[in-house]
């Protein structure tokens, strides 16, 4: 169930501030989270640059980007732990920009997990109820419910220090969900786990989110994690959203060279337009492609979309094989095309038998090439 109905308006500052009251007829009162030109400056450094994003109710969003891209700052502003320099954050139509964290009804899982070391598993999970003064019976019932949900029934009286990494992770998730929050925020939640456990937790977290139908935002730098869990992947770089779309869309039609390069691996090839208006790349005219505006552009083609043929065949670019990595299931062929390195990934059966030093032909199928602005 992929929903991917996020709008992105790019880093453009809106001229007028948000009107005090919004009618029901425009889209802003729909349930969900809206970030309206949210900006955060630390001195002269802009951590988050006028971000525009709307997350419909019940969506699972992964914010993905290199470290220092502003994704954690953005999450902390949604949580109310940092105040934006300018812009507005709305939840179900209500402006929560200046609402203090403890009044926002959200659940957050920290990278460090931040489980309270002096409390047991059950007391950690019951903490939000205890400080609200809920009756003991209610606390016990809710703790039992949540422990059953995370498959840790009977662990209520254990000290947190006695749990394994994965168990602590689940306790932190349960504690964040105790109040049935409107928003579920996770900051690099699985980074402390080993690879195998992390993959299992990704599936578990996704299933939990679908079961509860809760709006969820996860910050991660692991693209596999983002691809596994998200309805919508938000790719960020240097404080700006570069693309927000479904995982498949992000992979198949990246919005720019940063996204193309950051998600998966890709070949970025310079493209030019000759005097007759044909697109030319690597010295070969490629019919079916055209640069927007007719100038220079960049072609992004995934290694698995690069077809290898016999050298000299119709419409093929000829290059020399420089290295072959045979991984059994797939074979990676490194090719030098007049100084430009190209990587092709093919299955053993669909690949001509070429070895290092031999010439090979490359087909760039216009149907799988994405033309990006230079």
Note the residues at the interface with other proteins (CB under 8 A).
79-81, 100-102, 104-108, 110-112, 114, 116-120, 127-128, 131-132, 175-176, 178-179, 185
- Please state the closest distance from residue 290 (CB atom) to other proteins, in A: 50
In the DSSP assignment, the letter for residue 319 is: E
Nearest to 52 by CA among 99, 90, 92, 103: 90
253 vs 11: CA distance, rounded Å: 20
Using the minimum distance from each CB to other proteins, give the nearer residue, 91 or 263: 91
162 vs 335: CA distance, rounded Å: 53
Using the minimum distance from each CB to other proteins, give the nearer residue, 14 or 132: 132
294 vs 374: CA distance, rounded Å: 12
- Please state the closest distance from residue 136 (CB atom) to other proteins, in A: 15
- Say if residues 66 and 11 touch (Cβ distance below 8 Å): no
Q: List, in order, residues 6 or more apart from 233 with CB less than 8 Å away.
A: 61, 62, 64, 226, 227, 243, 244, 245, 246, 247, 250, 263
Nearest to 6 by CA among 51, 72, 49, 66: 51
- Say if residues 73 and 149 touch (Cβ distance below 8 Å): no
- Please state the closest distance from residue 65 (CB atom) to other proteins, in A: 21
Using the minimum distance from each CB to other proteins, give the nearer residue, 91 or 317: 91
Using the minimum distance from each CB to other proteins, give the nearer residue, 83 or 203: 83
Using the minimum distance from each CB to other proteins, give the nearer residue, 127 or 334: 127
- Please state the closest distance from residue 125 (CB atom) to other proteins, in A: 10
- Please state the closest distance from residue 358 (CB atom) to other proteins, in A: 56
SS3 content of the chain, % helix, strand, coil (to 5): 25, 30, 40
Using the minimum distance from each CB to other proteins, give the nearer residue, 83 or 310: 83
Query: How much is the CA Rg of the chain, to the nearest whole Å?
Result: 25
- Please state the closest distance from residue 9 (CB atom) to other proteins, in A: 28
Q: List, in order, residues 6 or more apart from 19 with CB less than 8 Å away.
A: none
106 vs 180: CA distance, rounded Å: 8
Using the minimum distance from each CB to other proteins, give the nearer residue, 21 or 103: 103
Burial class (CB in 10 A: 0-12, 13-18, 19+), 111: middle
- Please state the closest distance from residue 44 (CB atom) to other proteins, in A: 17
- Please state the closest distance from residue 212 (CB atom) to other proteins, in A: 17
173 vs 175: CA distance, rounded Å: 5
In the DSSP assignment, the letter for residue 295 is: S
Using the minimum distance from each CB to other proteins, give the nearer residue, 180 or 347: 180
178 vs 126: CA distance, rounded Å: 7
Using the minimum distance from each CB to other proteins, give the nearer residue, 126 or 354: 126
- Please state the closest distance from residue 216 (CB atom) to other proteins, in A: 14
Using the minimum distance from each CB to other proteins, give the nearer residue, 65 or 128: 128
Element (H, E) at 217: strand 215-220
- Please state the closest distance from residue 110 (CB atom) to other proteins, in A: 5
- Say if residues 267 and 365 touch (Cβ distance below 8 Å): no
32 vs 54: CA distance, rounded Å: 7
């Amino acid at each position: 169930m992929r929903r991917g109905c996020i709008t992105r308006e790019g880093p453009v500052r809106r001229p007028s501030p948000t009107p005090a009251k919004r009618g029901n007829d425009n889209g802003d009162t729909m349930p969900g989270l809206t970030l309206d030109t949210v900006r955060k400056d630390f001195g002269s450094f802009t951590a988050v640059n006028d971000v525009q994003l709307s997350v419909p109710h019940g969506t699972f969003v992964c914010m993905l980007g290199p470290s220092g891209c502003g994704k954690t700052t953005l999450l902390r502003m949604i949580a109310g732990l940092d105040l934006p320099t300018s812009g507005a954050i709305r939840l179900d139509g209500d402006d929560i920009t200046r609402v203090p964290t403890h009044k926002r009804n959200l659940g957050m899982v920290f990278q460090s997990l931040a489980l309270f070391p002096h409390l047991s598993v059950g007391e950690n999970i019951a903490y939000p109820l205890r400080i609200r003064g809920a009756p003991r019976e209610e606390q016990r019932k809710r703790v039992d419910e949540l422990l059953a949900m995370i498959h840790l029934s009977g662990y209520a009286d254990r000290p947190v220090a006695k749990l394994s990494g994965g168990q602590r992770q689940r306790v932190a998730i349960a504690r964040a969900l105790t109040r049935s929050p409107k928003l579920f925020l996770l900051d690099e939640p699985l980074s402390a786990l080993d690879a195998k456990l992390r993959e299992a937790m990704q599936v578990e977290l996704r299933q939990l989110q679908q079961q509860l139908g809760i709006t969820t935002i996860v910050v991660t730098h692991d693209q596999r994690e983002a691809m596994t869990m998200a309805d919508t992947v938000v790719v960020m770089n240097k404080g700006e959203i570069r693309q927000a779309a479904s995982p498949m869309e992000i992979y198949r039609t990246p919005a720019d060279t940063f996204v193309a390069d950051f998600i998966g691996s890709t070949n970025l090839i310079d493209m030019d337009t000759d005097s007759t208006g044909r697109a030319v790349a690597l010295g070969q005219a490629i019919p079916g492609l055209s640069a927007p505006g007719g100038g220079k552009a960049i072609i992004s083609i995934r290694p698995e979309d690069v077809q290898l043929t016999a050298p000299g065949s119709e419409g093929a670019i000829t290059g020399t094989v420089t290295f072959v990595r045979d991984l059994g299931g797939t074979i990676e062929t490194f090719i030098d095309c007049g100084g430009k390195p190209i990587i092709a990934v093919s299955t053993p059966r669909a690949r001509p038998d070429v070895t290092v030093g031999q010439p090979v032909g490359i087909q760039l199928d216009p149907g799988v090439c994405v033309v990006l602005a230079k």
